[in-house]
A and B are shown apart, each in its own frame.
Chain A
Amino acid sequence: MKNEILRLLENNSRLSAEEIAVMIGQETDVVKAMIKEMEREQVICGYNTLINWDHTDCNEVVTALIEVRVTPQRGEGFDRVAERLYQFNEVKSVYLMSGGFDFTVIIEGKTMKEVALFVGQKLAPLESVLSTATHFVLKKYKDYGVIFEEEKKDERMIVSP
Chain B
Amino acid sequence: MINYDNIMIKRVTDVPPSGIRKFFDIVNEMGDAISLGVGEPDFDTPWHIREEGIYSLEQGKTFYSANAGVLELRQEICAYMKRRFNLEYDAKTQSLVTVGGSEGIDLAMRLLAGPGDEVLVPEPSFVSYKPCAIYAGATPVPLVTKAENNFRLTAKELRAAITPKTKVLVLPYPNNPTGAIMEKEDLEAIAEVLRETNIMVISDEIYAELTYGKKHVSIASIEGMYERTVVLSGFSKAYAMTGWRLGYALGPAPIIKQMIKIHQFAIMCAPSTSQFAAIEAMKNGDHDVAMMCESYNQRRRFMVDRFRKMGLECFEPEGAFYVFPCIKATGMGSEAFCETLLKEEKVAVVPGTAFGECGEGFIRCSYAYSIDALKEALERIENFVQRHLK
Contacts and interface: CB of A to CB of B under 8 A. Distances in A.
A22 B176 CA distance: 23
Find the residue from A22, A158, A159, A161 having the highest chain B CB count within 10 A: A159
Nearest to A22: B305
A23 interface: yes
Interface string A14-48: 01000100111100000000000000000000000
B247 to A, nearest CB: 15
Contacts of B35: 158-159
A138 interface: no
Contact of B24 (A12, A24, A154, A157): A157
Interface in B28-47: 28, 33, 35, 37-40, 42
A159 B354 CA distance: 12
Contacts of B40: 156, 160
B184 to A, nearest CB: 23
Contact of A159 (B128, B294, B305, B350): B350
Contacts of B42: 154, 156
A57 B92 CA distance: 63
Contact of A24 (B33, B298, B348, B371): B298
A8 interface: yes
A54 interface: no
Contacts of A154: 42
B33 A158 contact: yes
B388 interface: no
Nearest to A8: B298
B20 A161 contact: yes
A79 interface: no
A20 to B, nearest CB: 9
A154 B366 CA distance: 14
B371 A12 contact: yes
Nearest to A18: B305
How many chain B residues sit at the interface, stated as a range, is 20 to 34
Given A158-B33, A158-B35, A22 B24 contact: no
A19 B309 CA distance: 13
B240 to A, nearest CB: 11
A155 to B, nearest CB: 10
Interface in A141-161: 154, 156-161
A12 B370 CA distance: 11
A158 B28 contact: yes
Interface string B355-390: 000000000000000010000000000000000000
Interface residues of A, number: 17
B301 A159 contact: no
Given A159-B38, A160-B37, A161-B128, A22 B301 contact: yes
A19 B28 CA distance: 32
Find the residue from A23, A25, A154, A161 having the highest chain B CB count within 10 A: A161
A159 B23 contact: yes
Interface string B104-123: 00000000000000000000
B24 A23 contact: no
B298 A159 contact: no
Contact of A157 (B18, B38, B302, B350): B38
A159 B24 contact: yes
B381 to A, nearest CB: 16
B80 interface: no
Contacts of B302: 19, 22-23
A4 interface: yes
Contacts of B23: 159
B294 A161 contact: no
Contact of A23 (B20, B176, B301): B301
Find the residue from A4, A15, A25 having the highest chain B CB count within 10 A: A25
Contacts of A161: 18, 20, 39, 126-128, 176, 354
Given A12-B371, A161-B128, A25 B301 contact: yes
Contacts of B38: 156-160
Nearest to B372: A12
B299 interface: yes
Contacts of B126: 161
Contact of B20 (A15, A19, A159): A159
Given A7-B294, A15-B371, A158-B28, 14 more contacts: A12-B371, A23-B298, A25-B301, A154-B42, A159-B20, A159-B23, A159-B37, A159-B348, A159-B350, A160-B24, A160-B37, A160-B38, A160-B39, A161-B126
Top 7 nearest A-B pairs by Cβ distance?
A159-B37, A23-B298, A159-B24, A158-B35, A160-B39, A22-B305, A161-B127
Interface of B: 18, 20, 23-24, 27-28, 33, 35, 37-40, 42, 126-128, 176, 294, 298-299, 301-302, 305, 348, 350, 354, 371
15 contacts: A7-B294, A8-B298, A23-B299, A23-B301, A23-B302, A24-B301, A154-B42, A156-B38, A158-B24, A158-B35, A158-B37, A159-B348, A159-B350, A161-B126, A161-B354
